[in-house]
């Protein structure tokens, strides 16, 4: 019964990318079924495989898990990436919600018109440099350890590196005022499982392009 986790989503980042990152960081192999047609989606619905009729969905440990946050929390807890007590969990939860909010700004970026994209880019820049990255820079500075929480790799570190790389794709100099985050980036990217995930040929997905948008619209019957 215990096979590899199976991810159901589009062949692109979207909301599933954080799940891919966390599984990869934990060294867990996974398989993927990519939604490409409306028929595939309808079959999943008819089979009752999508609790709230939505993806992401991950088949794992006999469950068909939905809701990104629930999936991530389960994987983190299962693979010892959720800290060692309630207080560490609280910190991790706060930190990942922050990076989630930042990444959500980028996740929807490709849906906007060119004028809206310009505004959104300014917002991403402002939020990253004035609201989010200063927090993580200060966390690292205050306790002077390698990781955000509890002196070991946790989900918070994995999500932060994902967020950093995503923002850098939009604003390449975004870490210029954050020396500790620059060190953090180098360090975390060198962790063997993460280094592997960052290499070409891994299951990491590229930023969304036209065909990704077209496919999602087709599957969800959006005009």
Q: How far is the CB of 209 from another protein (least distance, A)?
A: 28
Based on CB atoms, which residue is closest to another protein, 93 or 168? 93
Based on CB atoms, which residue is closest to another protein, 26 or 135? 135
Please confirm whether the linkage preceding 31 is cis (ω < 30° from 0): no
For residue 83 the two structure tokens come to 């800290």
Based on CB atoms, which residue is closest to another protein, 14 or 98? 98
x/- string (CB under 8 A) for another protein, residues 6-45?
----------------------------------------
Site for another protein in 119-138 (CB under 8 A): 131-132, 135
Based on CB atoms, which residue is closest to another protein, 28 or 189? 28
In b/e form, how buried is each residue of 158-182, taking b as 16+ CB within 10 angstroms? bbbbbbbebbeebeeebbeebebbe
Strands 63-66 and 31-34: unpaired
CA–CA gap between residue 108 and residue 213 (Å, rounded)? 10
For residue 179 the two structure tokens come to 């020396």
Based on CB atoms, which residue is closest to another protein, 24 or 156? 156
Assess 143 for contact with another protein (CB under 8 A).
no
| CB 132, CB 98: distance < 8 Å | yes
- Using CB atoms within 10 Å of the CB of residue 118, give its burial: 0 to 12 exposed, 13 to 18 middle, 19+ buried: exposed
What is the biggest distance separating any 2 CA atoms in the chain, rounded to whole angstroms? 52
Site for another protein in 178-217 (CB under 8 A): none
Q: How far is the CB of 67 from another protein (least distance, A)?
A: 4
CA–CA gap between residue 14 and residue 18 (Å, rounded)? 9
Site for another protein in 61-120 (CB under 8 A): 61, 63, 65-67, 69-70, 73-74, 77-78, 86-87, 89-90, 93-94, 97-98, 101
Q: How far is the CB of 192 from another protein (least distance, A)?
A: 26
Assess 49 for contact with another protein (CB under 8 A).
no
Contacts of 121 (CB under 8 A, 6+ apart): 109, 170, 171
Site residues (vs another protein, CB under 8 A): 51-53, 61, 63, 65-67, 69-70, 73-74, 77-78, 86-87, 89-90, 93-94, 97-98, 101, 131-132, 135
């Amino acid at each position: 019964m215990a096979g590899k986790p199976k991810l159901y989503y589009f062949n692109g980042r979207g909301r599933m990318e954080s799940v891919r990152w966390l599984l990869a960081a934990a060294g867990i192999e996974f398989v993927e079924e990519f939604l490409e047609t409306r028929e595939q989606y309808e079959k999943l619905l008819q089979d009752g495989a999508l609790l709230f009729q939505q993806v992401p969905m991950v088949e794992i440990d006999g469950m068909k898990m939905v809701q990104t946050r629930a999936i991530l929390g389960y994987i983190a807890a299962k693979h010892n990436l959720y800290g060692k007590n309630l207080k560490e969990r609280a910190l991790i939860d706060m930190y990942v919600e922050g990076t989630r909010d930042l990444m959500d700004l980028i996740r929807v970026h490709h849906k906007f018109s060119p004028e809206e994209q310009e505004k959104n880019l300014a917002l991403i820049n402002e939020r990253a440099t004035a609201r989010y990255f200063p927090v993580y820079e200060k966390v690292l500075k205050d306790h002077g350890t390698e990781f955000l929480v509890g002196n070991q790799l946790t989900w918070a570190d994995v999500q932060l590196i994902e967020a950093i790389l995503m923002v850098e794709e939009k604003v390449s100099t975004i870490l210029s005022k954050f020396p500790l985050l620059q060190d953090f980036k180098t360090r975390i990217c060198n962790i063997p499982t993460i280094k592997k995930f960052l290499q070409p040929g891994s299951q990491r997905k590229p930023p969304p392009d036209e065909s990704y948008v077209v496919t999602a619209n087709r599957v969800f019957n959006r005009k």
